[in-house]
Amino acid sequence: MKNKSLALLFTILPLLLLCGCYTAKMSEPPRTALEQLVLSRSSDLAMEGVDLSWVRGKKIYVEEKYFDSYDKLYVIGLIRQHLNEAGGLLMKTDDKADMIVEIRSGGLGMDTSETLFGLPSLTVPVPLSGSLQTPELAFYKNTKANGIAKFALFAYARDTGEFVHSVGPVSGYARFHLYKLVGITWKRTNVEQLKKHPVPDHPTNSVASPTQ
């Protein structure tokens, strides 16, 4: 009787493991919201407080062809907005402008790092059922995402090519730091949207390389 019970147990156990390891695949965008928000905040801070009073009342054309960066459309729009708010009159074509403003990027990216004191999550092979992911056991852990943006502007007269003004390079820094200590979690960030957002379990695990 005992042998029959053991045989039944070993027959049912693999079936239970097969059921317990089922995971529904969910589609995700190639880039996380965290990455995009940190990069855009870095850009915002780079342009914050920049003196653009020299464009007031001038017809300007923003030359974008020298600007190559991740999230370039957001940054180009941001710079155009600041020029317009400073009193510059944005022209759609360069032949109608008094001044050409060339913009360029020296860098826009995000670095991530992680420190863990404890046991990391491990993948354990399970016979007949694939693998099992063990939970992470962290006594202390910090996960950091730091973004940096560097831009510059250069203006010259359209008709003569004479130098008018230059700005920068200007830089902006954004951060999202997540800390865990014996089950207590807190964060530090200068990204407003991430202050209100629930703390993710692994904020940088799925950060992809930015794409244009």
Q: What is the distance between the alpha carbons of residues 59 and 162, in angstroms, rounded to a whole number?
A: 16
Per residue in 187-197, pLDDT (tens digit) is: 999 999 888 76
Indicate whether 12 belongs to any domain: no
CA distance to 1, 81, 149, 167, per residue, from 170 (Å): 80, 16, 8, 7
Report the alpha-carbon angle 14-20-21, nearest 5: 90
Rounded to 10 degrees, the C-alpha dihedral 131/180/146/84 comes to: 110
Beta strand residue intervals within the chain, DSSP E: 59-63, 89-90, 99-119, 123-126, 130-133, 137-157, 163-181, 184-189
| Helix count and strand count (H, E) for the chain | 4, 8
- In the prediction, which pLDDT does 81 show? 97
The per-residue pLDDT for 201 is: 52
Q: How many domains does the chain have?
A: 1
Range of the domain at 74: 32-196
* Residue 178, domain CATH: 3.40.50
- Would you say 152 and 140 are in contact if contact means Cβ atoms under 8 Å apart? no
Q: Let me know if residue 55 belongs to a domain.
A: yes
Q: What's the half-sphere exposure (Cβ side, CA atoms, 13 Å) at 147? A: 29
141 part of a folded domain: yes
pTM, whole model, 2 decimals?
Answer: 0.74
Within 8 A by CB and 6+ apart from 123, the residues are: 131, 132, 133, 134
- What average pLDDT does the structure give for the chain? 82
Q: Tell me if 210 is assigned to some domain.
A: no
Taking a C-beta distance cutoff of 8 angstroms, is the pair 82, 62 a contact? no
With respect to residue 208, please indicate whether it lies within any of the assigned structural domains: no
As a whole number of angstroms, the distance between CA 155 and CA 129 comes to: 65
pLDDT at 31 over 90: no
Q: What is the pLDDT of residues 9-23, one digit of tens each?
A: 445 445 444 444 444
CA 98, distance to chain mean position in Å, is 37
pLDDT one-digit tens code per residue, 51-109 = 999 999 999 999 999 999 889 999 999 999 999 999 999 999 999 999 999 999 999 99
What percent of the chain is modeled with pLDDT above 70?
79
Residue 207 lies in a domain: no
Q: Name the one residue in this structure whose structure tokens are 């020299």.
A: 54
Evaluate whether residue 165 is within a structural domain.
yes
Q: What's the CA angle centered on 32, arms 28 and 35, to 5 degrees?
A: 165
Residue 127 lies in a domain: yes
31 by Cβ neighbours in 10 Å (0-12 / 13-18 / 19+) ranks as middle
Which one is predicted more confidently, 39 or 139? 39
CA distance 45 to 43: 5
Res 160 pLDDT > 80: yes
